[in-house]
């Protein structure tokens, strides 16, 4: 039997460093060309496997693959496409195996969050049953930082750094104007279910910024919040608020959905930030500004955390090395050895324990009043935003990000309807 | 007569590099301690002069003053406070002169935009008439880039770099998800009257990003815009839109004001970005994301343009040097010697020609269809975003920004009611 090829796919929302993991996978596979043949990448993620649109990464130059390490987004395309359960749609899983078989693919590297860990797990189980064993390794990625077992998820550290730094900068700005102008600055951050990213905004407290954070973990108490805001402004002259997009009222309704209607009566026009800003203005009369970072935060490779970039690469590298050791149905993880000084190593977790498990913020990471973070949380966060890993810039002053050629190989199978 | 002291104040909205100009003023004055005494800074800008709250910058260490060069915001505080005309409120101008006289201040360095250039001009005129001559020098600063004569204004280059890079990064993100998810990304940028900052977003066109820009200079044509958006999505699979906060309909009403109402019926809740995003969704059905950068853009010292930082410092330095040459009622300017390679020098403009003149984007900087920029505009913009001037970071992974002691000297005059 000839040496097997590998398949790599990016899944779900992309990050500033998911391409660093891709780089780790491809560069490491290239180093072992005696054991791994071509690395195919799914065009637009797993959909590319189903539709047999396999990008031949061997057509990409060494320089371009290396440049993935400093390029945000998904270089081969990603998608939001969750395979249904085996019972509901066995056909999709069987198609995957069929495509892998047709292209002599023996390694499946799936780079994503909880859903893709689940898919990865099922592929490894089913492939065995179908008599075409595939080694399925999951490479963790998610800005939401909600995968279990691993200390953190690549993508999160860079978003956290961006939000911490941006919140600090905007707060400095407001501080210098507050005497006669804006007193309230509201920044809205990602995280519908978990407040990890919002927690990063709360770090500015250590830099003398009065800040209140609204987590999705804590039901919003408007009265208590407004009292806190007023106290901060009265003491410091201004107040910064970091609100998670998932902040919600006790009844579960999102702040972002409250009372915003466009001229057609459609809801959800605004984000949580303008709602919070207006609420403060109405109750306390303070002048405000607000920002919604949205995709700027998860794509901000220009301010990536060095820890994050190194770990993203190392996890891609480890995925290939573990595959070559014969491992299957696992996810390489980040193991924290020490917070100060920060030391980490690569471990592994069985996919059976990763799939469908969501890691929430520990209760003892949120301060007692519910509007801030604890020392324990800070000790966890700082190492993840440590160090700067700047991309190179071109002569224009723009970052030198790479765009892949993304040439697909010839199809061998019939068309597959998604 | 003993050597004269100097007064320095920051005016209006702060920037990522206004403190670099402060650093240039103070460091250069310190080098000439045989000719210039203490540099006093106005606490919260010109208000600090009126209320006699004069910060003694000699109390700040060499290291802290040097750190201003890489610290965003206004280190001594700024304000939005426009002195009325001489006819309307001669009292304020006379108070300024009185405070200057009381503290032996012979140099007035005012760091701001159009309004402060005007104030600076009047102070120099009035002080002469009142028999206490003050050399008034204006140091240009404004993210809006709307001061005349100078090639550009410190603060603008860094915002432009931030917007160009952020728009590129978010567009890469959307590009990699567009096949199955978000197809429209809208970023809202500052610039109520002039489209300079929006123009920076349009630069991503050179990096293969389909982008449409909405300038305040061009009345918004909804129908034409939607046709353009649809064509971009059909050709490229996605489209980025960079909308200026000042974008408006032919009747002058801002897009940001259209149809957004909170539960109390208050307008102006949302920004222009969500309005544009929803408009596209309603007409074309494309899934969108939007971001409002707000203060993140003008405080983003972490991504400052090197050209901008160097010029901000050089203009502060030149202000002091020109004062020592006996100059009065002028503003040092940036003179562009060449765009490629980029070469610039410091010139000067009489304040009489600067005050109350607003520089708009030249018509030939906007493309014929009104949704983009011309090669001429790009040739102008790229040098201004050239080079990176990163701040130092601490062990936590946070930028090492400085906070001044801001100790004021004893008051010598009666209280002044603002």
Residue B214: beta bridge partners? B243
Can you tell me the mean pLDDT for A403-410? 98
Report yes or no: B364 at the A interface, CB cutoff 8 Å.
no
| Catalytically annotated residues of A | 144
pTM, full prediction: 0.97
Supply the DSSP string of A381-393, one letter for each residue.
Answer: HHHHT-SB-PPPB
The overall average pLDDT reported for chain B is: 94
CA separation for the pair A56, A314 (Å, rounded): 23
Opening angle at CA B294, ends B292 and B298, nearest 5: 135
What percentage of residues in chain B have a pLDDT greater than 70? 97
Best probe of the A interface among B19, B253, B294, B405, by most A CBs < 10 A, is: B294
State the pLDDT at residue B256: 86
Considering only CA atoms, which of A99, A4, A55 is closest in space to residue A323?
Answer: A4
Can you tell me the mean pLDDT for A398-405? 98
Measured between beta carbons, which residues in chain A are less than 8 angstroms from residue B207? 398, 401
Contacting residues for A125 by C-beta, under 8 A, at least 6 apart: A329
Catalytic annotation, pick one of B34, B64, B115, B144: B144
The residue assigned the tokens 């700040």 is B60
Per 3-state DSSP, what percentage of chain A is helix, strand, and coil (rounded to 5)? Answer: 40, 20, 40
Query: pLDDT tier at A75 (50, 70, 90 boundaries)?
Result: very high
**CB contact at 8 A, A387 and B397:** yes
State the pLDDT at residue A17: 98
CB contact under 8 A, B180 and A44: yes
Angstrom distances, CA of residue A243 to CA of A204, B18, B190 = 14, 29, 22
- In the residue annotation, B394 being an active-site residue is answered as no
What percentage of residues in chain A have a pLDDT greater than 70? 97
CA separation for the pair B309, B161 (Å, rounded): 12
Measured between beta carbons, which residues in chain B are less than 8 angstroms from residue A74? 176-177
Q: What is the pLDDT of residues A224-281, one digit of tens each?
A: 999 999 999 999 999 999 999 999 999 999 998 755 444 444 444 458 999 999 999 9
Helical residues (DSSP H) of B146-258, grouped into ranges: 156-177, 196-201, 222-236
How close, in Å, is residue A186 to chain B by CA atoms? 10
Structure tokens at A66: 């290396």
CA separation for the pair B99, B115 (Å, rounded): 21
Measured between beta carbons, which residues in chain A are less than 8 angstroms from residue B398? 164-165, 168, 203, 206-207, 385
Q: How many CB atoms lie within 10 A of CB A255?
A: 26
Measured between beta carbons, which residues in chain B are less than 8 angstroms from residue A305? 397
Q: What is the pLDDT of residues B301-318, one digit of tens each?
A: 999 999 999 999 999 999
Query: pLDDT tier at B263 (50, 70, 90 boundaries)?
Result: very low
Helices vs. strands in chain B: H and E counts, helices first: 13, 11
Structure tokens at B101: 């006289």
Report yes or no: A5 at the B interface, CB cutoff 8 Å.
no
Considering only CA atoms, which of A308, A300, A309, A310 is closest in space to residue A166?
Answer: A300
Residue A12 zone, left/alpha/beta (φ > 0; ψ -120 to 50; rest)? left
Structure tokens at A300: 């901000």
Q: Is the pLDDT of residue A19 over 70?
A: yes
Report yes or no: A13 at the B interface, CB cutoff 8 Å.
yes
The overall average pLDDT reported for chain A is: 94
Q: Is the pLDDT of residue A322 over 50?
A: yes
Measured between beta carbons, which residues in chain B are less than 8 angstroms from residue A13? 177
Report yes or no: B369 at the A interface, CB cutoff 8 Å.
no
**CB contact at 8 A, B302 and A165:** yes
Contacts of B82-87 with CB under 8 Å at 24 or more apart are: B82/B115, B82/B119, B83/B46, B83/B119, B83/B122, B86/B122, B86/B126
The ipTM of this complex is 0.97
Chain A, residues 389-408, CB within 8 A of chain B, namely 390, 393, 395-399, 401, 403
CB contact under 8 A, A401 and B289: no
Measured between beta carbons, which residues in chain B are less than 8 angstroms from residue A396? 203, 206, 382, 385-386
CA separation for the pair A198, A246 (Å, rounded): 10
Report yes or no: A176 at the B interface, CB cutoff 8 Å.
yes
Query: pLDDT tier at A85 (50, 70, 90 boundaries)?
Result: confident
Extended strands (E) in B60-192: 105-112, 135-140, 184-189
Measured between beta carbons, which residues in chain B are less than 8 angstroms from residue A399? 165, 168-169
CA separation for the pair A260, A32 (Å, rounded): 56
Q: Is the pLDDT of residue B81 over 90?
A: no
Structure tokens at A248: 């919600």
Of B80, B166, B293, the CB nearest to A180: B80
Of A10, A13, A299, the CB nearest to B169: A299
How close, in Å, is residue B221 to chain A by CA atoms? 18
Q: Is the pLDDT of residue A88 over 90?
A: no
Contacting residues for B350 by C-beta, under 8 A, at least 6 apart: B329, B330
Q: Is the pLDDT of residue A38 over 90?
A: yes
Can you tell me the mean pLDDT for A33-59? 97
Of B175, B179, B269, the CB nearest to A79: B179
Of B164, B176, B264, the CB nearest to A14: B176
Query: What sign does the dihedral B332-B337-B339-B344 (CA atoms) show?
Result: negative
State the pLDDT at residue B264: 47
Report yes or no: B183 at the A interface, CB cutoff 8 Å.
no
The residue among B90 and B162 whose pLDDT is bigger is B162
State the pLDDT at residue B262: 46
Report yes or no: A111 at the B interface, CB cutoff 8 Å.
no
Widest CA span in chain B: 76
Query: pLDDT tier at A170 (50, 70, 90 boundaries)?
Result: very high
Supply the DSSP string of A286-355, one letter for each residue.
Answer: --EEEEE-THHHHT-GGG-BHHHHHHHHHHHHHHHHHHHTT--SEEEEEEEEETTTTEEEEEEEEHHHHT
Contacting residues for A4 by C-beta, under 8 A, at least 6 apart: A36, A37, A104, A105, A106, A107
Report yes or no: A57 at the B interface, CB cutoff 8 Å.
no
Chain B, residues 220-239, CB within 8 A of chain A, namely none
Q: What is the pLDDT of residues B27-43, one digit of tens each?
A: 999 999 999 999 999 99
How close, in Å, is residue B74 to chain A by CA atoms? 5
CA separation for the pair A199, A242 (Å, rounded): 8
Interface A–B counts its CB contacts (< 8 A) at 253
Q: What burial class does residue B30 get, using C-beta atoms within 10 Å of its C-beta: 0-12 exposed, 13-18 middle, 19+ buried? A: middle
CA separation for the pair B164, A396 (Å, rounded): 11
State the pLDDT at residue B237: 98
Helices A375-384 & A306-324, crossing angle to 10 degrees?
70
State the pLDDT at residue A135: 97
B208-218 burial by CB neighbour count: b if 16+ within 10 A, else e? ebbbbbbbbbb
State the pLDDT at residue A270: 57
What percentage of residues in chain A have a pLDDT greater than 90? 89
Can you tell me the mean pLDDT for B186-213? 96
What letter does residue B55 receive in the DSSP assignment? E
How close, in Å, is residue A23 to chain B by CA atoms? 16
Of A260, A289, A305, the CB nearest to B294: A289
Structure tokens at A405: 């050629």
Can you tell me the mean pLDDT for A271-297? 95
């Amino acid at each position: 039997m000839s040496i097997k090829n590998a398949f790599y796919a990016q899944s779900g929302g992309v990050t500033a460093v998911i391409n660093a993991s891709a780089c780790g996978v491809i560069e490491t596979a290239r180093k072992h060309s005696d054991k791994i043949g071509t690395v195919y990448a799914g065009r637009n993620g797993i959909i590319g496997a189903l539709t047999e649109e396999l990008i031949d990464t061997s057509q990409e130059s060494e320089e371009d693959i290396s440049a993935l390490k400093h390029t945000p987004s998904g270089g081969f395309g990603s998608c939001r496409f969750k395979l249904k359960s085996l019972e509901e749609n066995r056909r999709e899983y069987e198609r995957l195996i069929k495509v892998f078989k047709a292209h002599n693919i023996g390694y499946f590297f799936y780079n994503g969050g909880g859903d893709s860990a689940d898919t990865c797990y099922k592929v490894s189980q089913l492939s065995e049953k179908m008599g075409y064993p595939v080694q399925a390794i999951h490479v963790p990625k998610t800005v939401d930082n909600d995968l279990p077992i691993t200390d953190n998820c690549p993508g999160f550290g860079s978003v956290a750094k961006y939000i911490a730094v941006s919140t600090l900068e905007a707060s400095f700005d407001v501080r210098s104007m507050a005497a006669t102008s804006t007193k309230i600055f509201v920044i809205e951050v990602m995280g519908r279910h978990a407040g990890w990213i919002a927690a990063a905004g709360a770090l500015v407290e250590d830099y003398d910024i009065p800040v209140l954070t609204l987590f999705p973990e804590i039901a919003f108490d408007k009265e208590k919040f407004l009292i806190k805001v007023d106290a901060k402004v009265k003491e410091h002259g201004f107040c910064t608020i970091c609100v998670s997009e998932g902040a919600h009222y006790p009844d579960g309704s999102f702040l972002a959905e409250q009372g915003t209607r466009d001229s057609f009566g459609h809801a959800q026009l605004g984000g949580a930030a303008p709602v919070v800003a207006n609420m403060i203005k109405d109750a306390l009369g303070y002048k405000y500004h607000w920002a919604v970072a949205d995709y700027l935060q998860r794509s901000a490779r220009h301010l990536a955390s060095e820890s994050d970039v190194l770990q993203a690469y190392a996890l891609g590298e480890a995925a290939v090395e573990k595959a070559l050791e014969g491992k299957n149905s696992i996810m390489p993880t980040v193991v924290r050895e020490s917070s100060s000084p920060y030391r980490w190593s690569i471990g592994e977790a069985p996919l059976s324990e990763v799939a469908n498990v969501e890691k929430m913020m520990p209760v003892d990471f949120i301060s007692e009043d519910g509007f801030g973070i604890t020392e324990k949380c800070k000790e966890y966060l700082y190492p993840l935003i440590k160090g700067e890993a700047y991309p190179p810039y071109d002569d224009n002053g723009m970052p030198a990000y790479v765009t892949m050629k993304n040439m697909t190989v010839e199809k061998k199978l019939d068309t597959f309807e998604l």
